[in-house]
Structure 1
Amino acid sequence: MLTNEQRIVETRLSEITEVCDDSATYLSKMPAGCRNLLDEVYPGIFVGDRHAAQKTEFLKRLGITHILNAAEGTRARTVNTGKDYYTSSNIEYLGLELLDNESEVISEYLHPAIQFICKALDQGKVLVHCEMGISRSSTFVIAYLMWKEKMNLIEAVKKVREKRDVRPNSGFLKQLVLLEMNLNKLGGCLV
C-alpha cells in the first residue's frame, strides 16, 4: 500500500511525464534536421550539448561567463572539459560528475548548482550543459526556476521546453517532484 507522499509523487510524476512526452508539438515547429547546440531557455541561462561547451570563441561572443558541466568525466556519455579548458577564455567553471541514469542522485548537487547559476547571472550568462543538453543539464535549470523563480515543476518544465526539447529522465523527475514538495512545505525557500 502506498503512503500519501508516495501517491502524491506518483500523481505528480504522471502529470509531468505527459508534459515531457509531448515532443510532437515542439518538434513540429523546428525545420527538419535542425538541432541547436544551445538555446537560451531563460534570460541569461543557456542549455546546450557537448559541442556547444567545446566552442569557447562562440561562447565568448555570446557573453557566456560561466559554465556548469553536468556530465564531467572521461567515461562514455560524459564531457571531458574542465576548469583548465576555459582558463584562457576567462569562463568560470563548475563540473559535476553525473551519469544520465535513473538511479543517479542528482538532488545532492542541486544547491551548489543553483548557487553557481545565481552567481553566474549576477556576473553575466551561464551555459548549463551535459552530453546532449536534454536530461542532466535541464534538471538543474528546472530546479533553479523552481527554487529561485518560484515556479512549480510543470511551469518550470514548460518554460524550458518553450525553447529546447528537454526530457529529464524519470529518476531526475522524481527528485524534482520531491524538491517541489519540499519547497511547498517550506514556503518556497530551502536553506
Structure 2
Amino acid sequence: MPNPHITKIADRLYLGDGKSSRDAQILSENKITAVVSLSGGRWIHWSQPWYKKIIVEGNHLFIKCEDSMTQDLLPELAAICAFIKRHLASGSVLVHCDQGISRSVTAMIAYLMQTYQYDVATALALVGGKRKVKPNDNFKEQLEVWKAVGGNVWTAPGVPKKEYAAFLTKRTKRLKEAGLTGNESVGVTSL
C-alpha cells in the first residue's frame, strides 16, 4: 500500500511527498503555514498566486538536492532545523521531497534528533512507525555524522569537525567514482 501524500509526525509537523506541497486542499486541511522542499528543482506551483496566499513570502525553504549516494545534506541540516523550529512556533510545517521517503525523511530525522536528542535508530523508528520510509545509505551515514557532531558540522566557518571531514573524504571517493566533482549546483533558498 502506498504512503498517503501527507503524514503527521508530531504536533503541527508533517512529512509528505510532492503532491502534499502543491495541493491547496492538503495544505489548508492540515493548516500548513510553512514548507521545507527538498527537490532537484523548483516547481511551478510555488510561484502561483493561490500558493503564496497559503504559504506566504519567507515561509518556504527550498533545498536543491538529489536522492543520490553523493548528495551532501549535512551543511543544510542546521538551516532546515532552525527553519522548522522557527515556523512551528506560529503554525504547522510540512517537510517534503518528491516521494516523501528519503530526502525529506532525512531532514525530519535530523530535526527530531536535534530537538529531542534521539539517536538515529529511535528517530527513524518513530517516523517509520507512521509512514513507509527508506532514506538512502548515504543519508543514513550523514545522520550518524549529524549525531556525532551534535548538530553542528563546523569547528569554525568552513572548517569541518573531524567526523564531517571523514565523511567528506568518503564522499570525495564516491564522487570520483561517479565522475562528478562535487561542485554541482546545490543550495538553500527561501521563497
TM over 0.5: yes
CA distance in 2, matches of 1:157, 1:46: 15
Give the equivalent residue in structure 1 for 2:46: 82
Aligned residue type for 1:82: W
* Percentage of pairs with the same residue: 27
With the length of structure 2 as denominator, give the TM-score of the two structures.
0.72
Q: Within the alignment, does 1:175 sit opposite 2:145 as a pair?
A: no
Q: 1:56 deviation in Å? A: 1.9
| Structure 1 unaligned blocks of 5 or more | 1-32, 186-191
Aligned counterpart for 1:93 among listed residues 33, 38, 60: 60
CA distance in 2, matches of 1:36, 1:83: 25
Moved over 4 A (4+): none
Which whole-Å deviations, capped at 9, do the CAs of 1:69-126 have from their partners, x for residues lacking one? 011515xxxx554355631224421111000001100101101100111012101111
CA distance in 1, matches of 2:9, 2:55: 23
2:46–2:52 Cα contact (<8 Å) kept = no
Give the equivalent residue in structure 1 for 2:17: 49
| Structure 2 unaligned blocks of 5 or more | 153-191
CA distance in 1, matches of 2:40, 2:83: 16
Tell me whether 128-137 or 85-94 shows the greater mean CA deviation: 85-94
Q: Within the alignment, does 1:141 sit opposite 2:116 as a pair?
A: no
1:72–1:95 Cα contact (<8 Å) kept = no
After TM superposition, list the pairs within 5 Å mapping 1:100-139 onto structure 2.
100-139=67-106
Taking structure 1 as reference, are residues 90 and 174 closer, same or farther at Cα in structure 2, changes over 3 Å only?
closer
How many residues are matched?
150
